[in-house]
Amino acid sequence: MGVFATMFVLILCSVNAQSSHRKDGLQRRDVDSCSCAYQNGGCVITPAPPANKACKCVLSTNTCVGQIRACAQPNAFFCTNPDTSLGTCLQGAGNCKGYSDTSDCKYVFSGCKLTSPAIHRTACKCDFKECWTWACD
């Protein structure tokens, strides 16, 4: 009878401990979730998404929200080894303008020229946007 009573008390304590964590907002982050923060006029990932998933950062009035999604390039380094860098953010194909290490390009007579190279393990595609404006995507 003593063992049964001890087990009952332990189970009861475990249930109470779990419910008190929920009341205090100490729940664990979902495995398939991500978040983004507003920084330097754009979004950055905080923390990294799970492996083989991407975080799409959406900017709305100085607030960034993260949405978990499939990677733009499933076999890419930043998809299989995500972190909080620009390379990982680009896999989500959302707003990544909060990072300072972005690539850039400008118009020259023969077309588009990179003025700032792409970060390691990424590439830059220089596209015409509008009215002689070029941008790196």
pTM (two decimals)? 0.59
Average pLDDT of the segment spanning 119-127: 65
Which tens digit of pLDDT belongs to each residue from 83-114? Answer: 999 999 999 999 998 987 666 666 677 777 77
CB 78 within 8 Å of CB 87: yes
pLDDT bin (cut points 50, 70, 90) of residue 45 is very high
| Domain residue ranges in the chain | 36-91, 104-136
Distance (Å) of CA 11 to CA 22, 90, 122: 17, 46, 51
- Is the peptide bond between 47 and the residue preceding it cis, with omega within 30 degrees of 0? yes
Residue 112 contacts residue 106 (beta carbons within 8 Å) = yes
Predicted confidence at residue 4, as pLDDT, reads: 43
- 130 or 125, which is more confident? 125
Contact 125, 119 (CB under 8 A): no
Residue type, 6: T
Cα dihedral 15, 21, 26, 30 in deg (nearest 10)? 20
Tell me the pairing of strands 133-136 and 126-130.
antiparallel
DSSP character string of 52-70 = T-EEEEEEETTEEEEEEE-
Choose the weakest-confidence range: 4-13, 25-34, 48-57, 110-119: 4-13
* Phi-psi map region of 121: left, alpha, beta (phi>0 left; psi -120 to 50 alpha): left
